[in-house]
Amino acid sequence: MTTGEGPKSRSRTAPGRQDWSSWPHYDGAAQGFRGYWYPVTWSSHLTGKPQPFTICGEKITLIRDGGTAYALHNRCPHRGVPLSEGDQQFPGTVSCPYHGWTFDLPTGRLSAVITDGPGCRLTGKVSVRTYAVEERLGMVWVYIPLADEEPHPIDEQLPEELVSNPFVMGGRIEPRGGNWRFACENGFDEGHAKYLHRTALWRLFKPMPTWNVTRIVPRGRWIYRVQDEVHWEADFPGVGHWSNKRWWKMQPPKETFNIGNTGKADSINPTIEAQDFPGFASLSMPGVLRIVYPNFIHYEFYVPVDADRHNYVGVMVNFTEGWSTLRFYAKYLGAIRWLFHGQFSGQDAWMVDVTDAPPEKLYRPDVSLTSWRNLSEEEYAKKLAGTGADSSAEKEA
Residues between 334 and 353 that touch its own copies (CB under 8 A): 350-351
Binding mask 290-309 for its own copies (x = CB under 8 A): --------------------
DSSP H helix total and E strand total for the chain: 9, 22
Range 261-269 contact pairs with CB under 8 angstroms and sequence separation of 24 or more: 261/226, 262/227, 263/225, 263/226, 263/227, 264/292, 265/292, 265/293, 265/294, 266/294, 267/294, 268/161, 268/292, 268/294, 268/295, 268/297, 268/319, 269/165, 269/319, 269/320
Among 43, 51, 127, 325, binds its own copies (CB under 8 A): 127
CB 19 within 8 A of CB 358: yes
282 near its own copies, judged by CB under 8 A: no
The smaller minimum CB distance to its own copies, of residues 71 and 265, is found at 71
Residue 10 C-beta: closest distance to its own copies, Å: 8
If binding is defined by CB under 8 A, does position 115 make contact with its own copies?
Answer: yes
Which residue, 82 or 159, has its beta carbon nearer to its own copies? 82
- Comparison of 13 and 267: residue with beta carbon closer to its own copies: 13
C-alpha angle 199-201-202 in degrees, rounded to nearest 5: 110
Report the interhelical angle of 367-387 vs 180-188 (nearest 10°): 130
| Contact status: 255 vs its own copies (CB under 8 A) | no
In the region spanning residues 359 to 378, those forming contacts with its own copies, defined by CB under 8 A, are 359-365
| In the complex, minimum distance from the CB of residue 64 to its own copies, in angstroms, rounded to a whole number | 18
3-state class (DSSP) for residue 279: coil
Amino acid at 12: R
Contact segment (CB under 8 A) with its own copies among 82-90, 165-173, 220-228, 318-326 equals 82-90
Tell me the Cα Rg of the chain.
24
CB nearer its own copies, residue 2 or residue 164: 2
Cα–Cα distance, 345 to 351 (Å, whole number): 10
Q: How many residues bind its own copies (CB under 8 A)?
A: 90
Segment holding 217, helix H or strand E: strand 211-219
Candidates 376, 384, 299; CA nearest to 336 is 299
Residue 390 in the binding site for its own copies (CB under 8 A): no
Find the binding residues for its own copies in span 145-164 (CB under 8 A).
145, 147-148, 150-151
Task: Point out which span in 5-13, 40-48, 61-69, 167-175 binds its own copies (CB under 8 A).
Answer: 5-13
3-state secondary structure of 194: helix
Question: Could you say whether residue 28 binds its own copies (CB under 8 A)?
Answer: no
Per-residue interface string for the shown chain with its own copies, residues 179-198, x marking contact by CB under 8 A = ------------xx-xxx--
| CB of 53 or CB of 101, closer to its own copies | 101
> Least distance in Å: CB of 296 to its own copies?
25
